[in-house]
Amino acid sequence: MANVPSLQDLMKAGVHFGHQKSKWYPKMKPYIFIEKNGIHIINLEETQKALEKALNFISETVAGGGTVLFVGTKKQARDIVKDAALSCNMPYVTNRWLGGTLTNAPTVLGLVKKFRKLKEEKASGKLEKYTKKEQLEITREIERLESIVGGIEKLERIPDALFLVDIKIDKTAIKEALRRKIPVVGLCDTNSNPELVKYPIPSNDDAVKALQLMANLVAETIKEVKEKV
């Protein structure tokens, strides 16, 4: 398991900055240290405790052969989440959550299978037997599927856990995970409901440095486990 960052490192990344007091979610109260100039400041000692618990869970999940799906569809998180997921060879969703990814898995996994098949056919030159017009249509279909299921291309079954960097933005993913009883590790800013996820991590969910720190911690934990197996 990756080492839990020091309080100083968490502060450097801006993890402690919450939202304005007027936007707070009351159930985040146990994780709030103080209010300063109308802004809630997150208690980083609580963040450290939550991180240890969440990373332990991820470590156990991966050690048991489980898959962790990384989710982050808001603009500043997309590249961060994608890079972190790719670094530990895990699936990701960074464009738009496709409704039914968890609750209608056979249909979505069918699209994934179709995407893989078309890509393989294009790479092997099998599309040359078609007319130029047909080849163009197939290429466009590959591009369409890339934008929809590209990040979950290697997914063979529904994931064993989700890691979300913003539980408000990607609330549909949360709803589907709850219905399928899939545990979620999620960053919870002071305007979020921590009870929606099994492993809430009190953290700023907007600052790029905070998002990078958290996504990389999860990825490093996964890589460490994989190296031992």
Q: What pLDDT sits at residue 137?
A: 94
Going by C-beta distance under 8 Å and a sequence separation of 6 or more, which residues neighbour residue 112?
A: 149, 152, 153, 155
State the pairing for strand pair 39-42/32-36.
antiparallel
Segments forming the whole domain that contains residue 134: 105-152
Instruction: Determine the Cα–Cα distance for residues 188 and 164; give it in Å rounded to an integer.
Output: 9
Q: Are 19 and 82 members of one domain? A: yes
Res 48 pLDDT > 80: yes
Q: In this prediction, what percent of the chain has a pLDDT beyond 70? A: 100
Tokens (6 digits) for 134: 């047909």
Q: What pLDDT sits at residue 229?
A: 74
Question: How many domains does the chain contain in total?
Answer: 2
Instruction: Determine the Cα–Cα distance for residues 155 and 62; give it in Å rounded to an integer.
Output: 15
Q: Are 93 and 204 members of one domain? A: yes
* pLDDT tens digits, 147-204: 999 999 989 999 999 999 999 999 999 999 999 999 999 999 999 999 999 999 999 9
Q: What pLDDT sits at residue 91?
A: 97
- For 71, the enclosing helix (H) or strand (E) is strand 68-71
**Helix pair angle (208-228, 44-63), 10° resolution:** 30
Q: Are 33 and 17 members of one domain? A: yes
Q: Measured between alpha carbons, how far is residue 204 from residues 46, 66, 101, 171, 207 in Å? A: 13, 27, 27, 17, 6
Question: Looking at the DSSP assignment, which residues form a beta bridge with residue 32?
Answer: 42
Q: What pLDDT sits at residue 128?
A: 86
Question: Looking at the DSSP assignment, which residues form a beta bridge with residue 199?
Answer: 185
Res 215 pLDDT > 80: yes
Q: What pLDDT sits at residue 118?
A: 94
Sign of CA dihedral 102, 103, 109, 114: negative
Q: Are 27 and 96 members of one domain? A: yes
Res 14 pLDDT > 90: yes
* pLDDT tens digits, 170-182: 999 999 999 999 9
pTM of the model: 0.95
Q: Is residue 1 part of a domain?
A: no
CATH of the domain at 124: 1.10.287
Q: Is residue 178 part of a domain?
A: yes
